[in-house]
Structures are given as structure tokens and as C-alpha cells.
Amino acid sequence: MSIPFTKMHGTGNDFILINEYNERKILNKQKSPLATKFCERRYGIGSDGIIFLLPPTLPEADIKMQFFNPDGKKGEMCGNGLLCLAKFAKDKHIIKGARMKVETLAGIRQIEFKYREEFLAKVNMGSAQFTRNKIPAKGSGTFLTEELYGYKVNACNTGVPHAVIFVERLEVIHVEKIGRKIRHHPIFPDGTNVNFVSPKNDTTLQVRTYERGVEKETLCCGTGAVASAAIAKKTDKINTDNIVVEMKGGPLTILFQEQTIYMKGTAQTVFTGYIPITEE
């Protein structure tokens, strides 16, 4: 048996998307092995994760996102994945209007979009959580500031945990070497994503991210962009409510409106195909 998939990316953060909303269902026990096999870039399709589009279980949601990292573990949610999922649901005619509410393990995320020559979307990312029990992180004190491996580390949760480190020059940072050590530091019981951030000017941050579950640097990370902007504001590294975050794959815009953070970005379809799976 084979099932259709769509390969998509949001600013270089790429995903495999599978429609279970109104097409063939896949057994839950098959999903983790599918992620580890087909996210692999040499012997699989290659992606930073796999997203299953499902009917919602909550009455206030329109669709549900089920996300697996390349290591086969479930992720709470994914910022760029939400952008891709929104375009995917619109392309499949599951969503009729210009907005949708998506159920995730991190809560419901509302998305508004414009779809003309290019797909442009704004995601309500909620608010950043800075307390240690929300990140989660061990230790005392509300806002995490720790010295880890010679780096000053702040952290927050923007749907998933993120550590943020401010540096002067991104190009000299060994993102994967240092990121891997901090990602596995015991202060983070669930692990963490790690962002290296350099303020470019009064409105722009440059960011490189080591992603948990991918276990290497990715071209872009939506929740990482949000976390970097949120901590930059909290630590007075930047004071505007409209922040451009430049990553290797391109820019995302992060907007702050009272206690709510919005992320603006694009999504593109790369190709489609079929995945063989064992029928049980």
C-alpha cells in the first residue's frame, strides 16, 4: 500500500505532510517509524519533521496537527510546520476561508493568511513562558539565566523549550557542537532547542538554531525565532514590537501585541509523491 505525501518548506524548514483528514488513515504505531525512515536525507525523502493533518478532537478547532521529529518522537508543535500545514489544508480544500484554528499538543493556534501569487500567513503563537516549571528547567528563580559551558543562557517556552544565547559573531560559533551540549544539559529535563542570537540593528536579529529532535542546525526555526525575539525584548537587547529575525533559510517577522506574539512567514510546496507502507 502507498499513501500520498507533499514535501513543503517554510523559509527552508522542510516537512513531509500527510493528509489523514479525509484520506487514508495510518496506524499510530506506524508513524514514528515513518518519521525516522523518511525524514532521513540520504535514504529517505529528507525533512526536518513529518506532519499529519487530522480532524480535530476539540470542538473549537478546525484541524489537528500531529508532528513527529526525525528521531521519531512527537513534538508539541512547530512554527514553520504550522505555516506549511495551513497552506496544505487550503490546497486540499479542507479550509474554505482565510483563517483556521489548529489543534496542537501546545494548545490551539490561530492562523490568518493571504493566498495570491504567494502564500503569506500570520500565526498566533500565544505568549512566551519564562518560568522554569513552564520551560521546563530545573533550579530556582523565575527567569532562567545560567552559565552553561562558558555561555550565558536564557530560556523560555514558545510551544517547545528554547535556550537563547546572545553572541557577537554568529559565524564563529560552532552551532552543532555547543548546541548539542546545551540541548542535553541536565538542567533541561525534556531537552531544549538552542538559539544563538546576534542583534543586527534596532529592529533585526540574526539567529542560528540547533533543533531538538532534528539534532543538528536547521535553516530556520519558527518557535526559535519567537523565543529569540521574546528574550531579546525581555533582556532589553531590542525594544521594538516588530522584529525581523534573519535565519539561514530567510526572514520571519515577529510581532508583539500586548501579551500575544504573532509570527509572519511563507510556505511553499516543493514536490509530491507516494510513500510505501505495510498494510496491517
Query: Which residue among 39, 156, 220, 221 is the active-site one?
Result: 221
Amino acid identity, position 183: R
Please tell me which residue in 78, 84, 156, 220 is annotated as part of the active site: 78
Residue at 222: amino acid letter: G
The residues near 188 (Cβ < 8 Å, ≥ 6 apart) are 135, 136, 137, 138, 155, 161, 163
Cβ distance 78 to 51 under 8 Å?
yes
On whether the CB atoms of residues 153 and 165 are closer than 8 A, the answer is yes
C-alpha distance from residue 119 to each of 86, 91, 195, 265 (Å): 9, 11, 27, 9
Are 67 and 51 in contact, with CB atoms under 8 Å apart?
A: yes
Sign of torsion over alpha carbons 88, 94, 100, 103? negative
Annotation says 39 is catalytic: no
| Measured CA distances, 259 to 96, 194, 241 (Å) | 29, 23, 11
Q: Are 10 and 83 in contact (CB under 8 A)?
A: yes
Q: Is 156 a catalytic residue?
A: no
| For helices 79-91 and 222-234, angle between their N-to-C axes, nearest 10 degrees | 140
Task: Point out the residues that are catalytic.
Answer: 78, 221
